[in-house]
Amino acid sequence: MTICLGIEGTAHTIGVGIIKSDKGRCQVLSNVIKGYHPEKGGIHPREAANHHATYVADVLSDSIKKAGVVFSAVDLISFSQGPGLGPCLRTVATAARALSLKLKKPLLGVNHCVAHLEIGRGTIPECIDPVLLYVSGANTQVIGFAEGKYRVFGETLDIGLGNCLDKFGRSLDLEFPAGPKIEELAKKSKTYVKLPYSIKGMDIAFSGLLTAAMQEKKQGTSVEDICFSIQETAFAALTEVTERAMAHTEKKEVLLGGGVACNMRLRSMVETMAKARGARFFVPSRNLCVDNGAMIAWLGLLMYESGIRMTIEDSMINQRFRTDMVQVAWR
Amino acid sequence: MNPNKILYLGAEAEIKTSVYLGLSAVEKRRIRKSYRIPEIDHMLISARTKEESKLIMEARIQGVAVPIIYDVDVENGIITMEYIDGHRIKDIIHRLTEKERKRICEKIGDGIARLHNNDIIHGDITTSNMILVDDTIYFIDFGLGCKDSEIEAKGVDLHVLMEAFSSTHSLYPQCFDYVLDGYKKRFQGDADVICKKIEEIVRRGRYRT
């Protein structure tokens, strides 16, 4: 078992990645990503699923071409089984099942959140046992390996941070995803407007922050100041929760993952925190941070090699597939 | 006692020994974080210092043994309080006889119920945060505490201790039941509702082991 093809499709991205195992390390042969951009508003699950259905074949053949392999060389098909939007997950699962049956190759559904962590461990040699701060549109979790499972030490109690940024961005008529533009606007300000900082134990909440930011905008506060303040408040809270999880688990590594991990201010805050604790800081390359097929392929391969198998009947998707439901047999 | 000895260094604060007007004391100082802007840093440190010292004082008024607050420096995030010279429950629980363990655990439950009767949520009730002096149990570290009248908050508060017993003291699974016995006797609301809530919290996916 050396080559695995993974299909990602939990939300707005359809991605096909092909990876190879090289002495326990992940070698990415290709990683093609295509994003659905709503004309207005946020992700419409059905529209996103239609997008994936339209482009999955193209992305698939593109990925095969870029990897320089033939279909028959693929040993395993894996796909994102959850968590995510039902219609998107079903579309991708269908594609993966069809491919598996056609090629007569085994099929494995994997957990999207765990894939974000494993791709960091698989592609960064010094990254052995990190606490992962995973921040994307829908997900915001602090994950670490403890007592045989990936456990969630802290997570959002309401919306993911990306979702919060997107919603605020929409009120400014920014294009989806709004994160990168908010980052640009934030750079133009140094004026902090007080916004709610919400940490409950190890968990975190962003809906109050979003409401307060919208209020500020209505009251005419400068958009740059609000963007600066949203970033400073939300990222400080994320960094604090991550540090607590590191202290609690006594781990000396921190890994970033998810689309929001592309934000340079978040990176610098987590890195500063890590340095102060004498811990190491890692972030995968951009196309492995965002939703992508390569991470799905790599986790599939790890699972398969540890002896995990899945029949077509067991491959049903799970919109609420929790990180701590995954049986970790490969560590 | 050697002043300025660091007793504990956490993610958020450091605890060191000190002397206040000739009395043995401890200083809890919240650490400035260079990753966040000074405005947020200052706001968090002063608000949390204020909140924690208020909770400790309120707990004392309600008859729960807690350190006496000597001084609060909100500006620099320092609480100076009584040094509690005793043994952490964590370190002595295995040395007790079953009968004594039962008695101590019931006293713990009594203390938690007194807090909860006044909507004080400790936020981190573990066996490391309780100190036995003679026959009194002191509750320390209200750093994650808050005021909350919700059943959910009280259930979560007790659930933290339940987890501590099952992970750190798995040899004594009955301890938490003793705690609940003591809790039920003192709690003024319907303790069964709280117990049901704890069961519900256990059933939630994220807490299942």
Question: To the nearest whole angstrom, how far is the Cα of B204 from the nearest Cα of chain A?
Answer: 11
Q: Are residues A276 and A295 in the same domain?
A: no
Q: Tell me if A9 is assigned to some domain.
A: yes
pLDDT of residue B39: 97
Three-state SS for A122?
A: helix
- In chain A, the number of structural domains is 2
Determine whether the interchain pair B205/A325 forms a contact, defined as Cβ–Cβ distance below 8 Å: yes
* Contact call for residues B30 and B144 (beta carbons, < 8 A): no
**Which among B49, B43, B47 is positioned nearest to B30, based on CA atoms?**
B49
Nearest Cα residue to A71 out of A41, A101, A34: A101
Q: What band does B1 get if pLDDT is binned at 50, 70 and 90?
A: low
Amino acid (1-letter code) at residue B25: A
Which residue does chain A place closest to B34, by CA atoms? A272
pLDDT score for A1: 63
Q: Are residues A92 and A222 in the same domain?
A: no
Q: Alpha-carbon distance A118 to A120, whole Å?
A: 5
Q: Of the candidates B3, B12, B7, which has an alpha carbon nearest to the alpha carbon of residue B128?
A: B7
The mean pLDDT value of chain B amounts to 91
* Domain-embedded: residue A330: no
pLDDT for B207: 40
Q: Are residues A30 and A134 in the same domain?
A: no
Residue type, A107: L
Decide if A209 contacts A164 (C-beta within 8 A).
yes
By annotation, the residues of B acting in catalysis are: 124
Report yes or no: B158 and B112 within 8 Å, Cβ to Cβ: yes
User: Best interface-test mutation with A: which of B32, B40, B159, B170 has the largest number of A CBs within 10 A?
Assistant: B40
Peptide bond into A83 cis (omega under 30): yes
Cα–Cα distance between B202 and B189 in angstroms, integer?
21
* Tokens found for residue B20: 């206040």
Q: DSSP secondary-structure letter at A156?
A: B
Quote the pLDDT of residue B206: 42
* Nearest CB neighbour to A272, from listed B34, B44, B208: B34
Picking from B36, B206, B208, the nearest residue to A232 by CB comes out as B36
Q: What distance in Å separates the CA atoms of residue B197 and residue A152, rounded to the nearest whole number?
A: 21
Question: ipTM of the predicted structure?
Answer: 0.90
Q: Are A180 and A307 in a shared domain?
A: no
Best of A141, A268, A324, A327 to mutate (most B CBs within 10 Å, chain B): A324
Report CB contact under 8 Å: A197, B33: no
Two tokens, residue A201? 């134990």
**Contact between residue A81 and residue A321 where contact means Cβ atoms under 8 Å apart:** yes
Which residues have C-beta within 8 Å of that of residue B180, sequence separation ≥ 6?
Answer: B109, B158, B191, B195
Indicate if A143 and A274 belong to the same structural domain: yes
Q: What is the mean pLDDT of residues B18-36?
A: 96
CB pairs A-B closer than 8 Å: 53
Task: Let me know whether A239 and A277 are in one domain.
Answer: yes
Which CATH number covers residue A241? 3.30.420.40
- Rounded to the nearest angstrom, the minimum Cα separation between A155 and chain B is 10
**Which residue of A140, A204, A233, A238 is the best one to mutate when testing the B interface, meaning the one whose CB has the most B CBs within 10 A?**
A233
User: Quick check: A247 and B44 CB within 8 A?
Assistant: no
B9: amino acid identity, one letter: L
Do residues A111 and A132 share a domain?
A: no
pLDDT digit string, tens, across residues B150-199:
999 999 999 989 988 877 776 777 899 999 999 999 999 999 999 999 99
User: Cβ B37–A276 below 8 Å, yes or no?
Assistant: no
Evaluate whether A91 touches A84 at the Cβ level (below 8 Å).
Answer: no
Cβ distance B10 to A247 less than 8 Å, yes or no, reads yes
Beta bridge partners of A246: none
User: How far is residue A31's CA from residue A15's CA, in Å, rounded to a whole number?
Assistant: 7
Angstroms from B99 CA to nearest CA on chain A: 32
Task: Name the residue in chain B with its Cα closest to that of A199.
Answer: B144
First to last CA, chain B: 42
Asked if A270's CB is within 8 angstroms of B10's CB, the reply is no
Query: What is the residue type of A138?
Result: A
Name the residue facing A197 among B33, B40, B123 (closest C-beta): B40
Domains of chain B: 6-82 (3.30.200.20), 87-207 (1.10.510.10)
* Interface of chain B toward chain A, CB-CB under 8 angstroms: 10-12, 33-37, 39-40, 43-44, 123, 144, 156, 205-206, 208-209
Shared domain check, A183 and A138: yes
The helix/strand count (H/E) of chain B reads as: 6, 10
Q: Return the number of other C-beta atoms located less than 10 Å from residue A239's C-beta.
A: 22
Average pLDDT per consecutive 10 residues, chain A (331 residues; last block may be shorter): 93 97 94 92 93 98 97 97 97 98 97 96 97 94 91 90 96 92 98 93 90 97 98 97 91 96 97 97 96 98 96 95 92 92
Q: Do A192 and B40 touch (CB under 8 A)?
A: yes
Residues A140, A224, single domain; the answer is yes
Q: How many CB atoms neighbour CB A27 within 10 A?
A: 16
C-alpha distance from B102 to closest chain A C-alpha (Å):
29
Nearest to A324 among B34, B37, B205 (CB): B205
Residue B205 pLDDT > 90, yes or no?
no
Distance CA A255, CA A259 (A): 13
**How far apart, in whole angstroms, are the C-alpha atoms of residue A310 and residue A108?**
6
Same-domain status, A171 and A222: yes
**How close is the nearest chain B Cα to the Cα of A230, in Å?**
12
b/e per residue B76-95 (b: at least 16 CB within 10 A): ebbbbbbbbeeebbbebbee
Tell me which residue in A201, A233, A276 faces B123 most closely, judged by beta carbons: A201
Range of the structural domain that residue A50 is part of = 3-117+290-325
Verify that A151 and A92 share a domain, yes or no.
no
Residue A146 belongs to a domain: yes
pLDDT for the residue numbered A248? 84
Section B44-63 average pLDDT: 96
Query: B208 falls in which pLDDT band (50, 70, 90)?
Result: very low
Look at residue A86 and tell me if it is in a domain. yes
Q: For residue B152, give both structure tokens.
A: 């959910």
Average pLDDT, integer, range B15-29? 95
> Average pLDDT for residues B101-113, to the nearest whole number?
96
Question: What is the average pLDDT across B72-95?
Answer: 94
Q: Which single residue is written with the structure tokens 């990897």? A: A67
Please indicate, yes or no, if residue A122 is contained in any of the structural domains: no
Write down the pLDDT at residue A324: 87
Across the interface, do B39 and A147 touch by the CB < 8 Å criterion? no
Phi, psi of B150, rounded to the nearest 5 degrees: -70, 145
Q: Using the CB atoms, write b or e for A191-213: b if 16+ within 10 Å.
A: ebbebebbbebbbbbbbebbebb
Nearest CA to B14 out of B75, B77, B74 is that of: B77
Together in a domain, A221 and A143: yes
Nearest to A45 by CA among A122, A137, A112: A137
Q: What is the pLDDT of residue A157?
A: 86
pLDDT of amino acid B163: 82
